[in-house]
Amino acid sequence: MDRGQVYNRGMTANTEQENSLSQTSLGESLSILIPAYNETLSIAGVLRGLLEQPELQGAEIIVINDGSSDETSQIVRQFPTVRLIEHLANRGYGTAIRSGARVAQRPFVIWYDADGQHRPQDLVALAQKLISEGLDYCIGVRASGSYQDPERIVGKWLLRLVVRFAVGKSVPDFNSGLRGFKREVLLRYLPLLPKRFGASTLTTLLMIENEHFGGTIPIIAQPRMGKSTVRQLRDGLRTLQIILHIVILFKPLQFFGWMGTFLILVGLIYGFYKAFTVHLGFPVFGTLIILLGIQSFFFGLLCDQISALRRERWG
């Protein structure tokens, strides 16, 4: 994959900001957000890896403990330079990102997983590209050789189809957990992020839809440490939830419009078939299908107007 792949070139880099950042170290420009939920086995190693990385000296590292029931908080407190935010209950990945982004004080924000899947050197490379090229966002795309959870393959395949439908093109690794943003850009879209599942996917689509200047960089994902929190039924339902979220936010008229058109055609074909074969007039069931199709079409029209207002307000 081309290391410098760019999604959109719709915005020009702020040269004054680049010049000011070039006079400071890389770390002093970064806030690193680490949502953590029951990560006792990995969190210490993750933090040590970041703190020992020379390029990240001076970075603001924020761990958002999302209602963990283990010793995650106690371990984080052993690192005095790391800022800890506590959620008393598990509120979800998206909510953790919101909490961290709102208190972050540096001009660039990096998302980083707490389970040991990411490498500090990949974060450094992503941050350097983000800042040096004046990007609004940069996403770490998992390269060949990266670990893939076999239990999530089907769900990711479905999401990939929906994402392609939403933006009209293929998007590489749209839900990677290693990604960076200009903080001022990310803050605009925080109210649109789902509380739990799908924050990574939604930010990718929002950046593309609103033509922000962004790019990708190849990374290597490692097997997570500890037990995965994946549950087939629960995460299957969450996958359906994020699919609906994407469709309603980005393509409601196309989705419900096509659905309505299909139902109207089915109702007409069924109704006229029964009318001409049974000779009892147009059947009630055919009429109901047609009415359902009409309702679907106008529901899509209404959703499209609401979605446009939301994206205009926050974009």
pLDDT digits (tens, 9 = 90+) for 269-289: 999 988 888 888 889 999 999
Comparing 5-9, 92-96, 98-102, 219-223, which segment has the lowest mean pLDDT? 5-9
CA distances 185 to 1, 33, 170, 214, 284, Å, are 26, 16, 23, 11, 53
Averaged over 57-63, what is the pLDDT?
95
Residue 237 CB neighbour total at 10 angstroms? 11
pLDDT of residue 244: 73
User: Domain with 100 in it: what CATH number?
Assistant: 3.90.550.10
Tokens read off for 128: 């350097």
Do 201 and 274 lie in a common domain?
A: no
What integer pLDDT is reported at residue 254 of this predicted model? 81
Domain boundary (229, 249, 269) is at 249
Asked if residue 136 and residue 69 are part of one domain, the reply reads yes
Span 118-167, pLDDT tens digits: 999 999 999 999 999 999 999 998 887 676 665 566 666 666 677 676 66
Cβ–Cβ contacts within 10 Å for residue 273, how many? 12
Q: Is residue 2 part of a domain?
A: no
Q: Are residues 63 and 203 in the same domain?
A: yes
Does 246 score more than 60 pLDDT? yes
Q: Which residues contact 278 (CB under 8 A, 6 or more apart)?
A: none
262 shares a domain with 171 = no
Domain of 283, in residue numbers: 251-314
Domain-ending residue, one of 249, 269, 295:
249
Confidence of residue 113 (pLDDT cuts 50, 70, 90): very high
Mean pLDDT of 207-234: 75
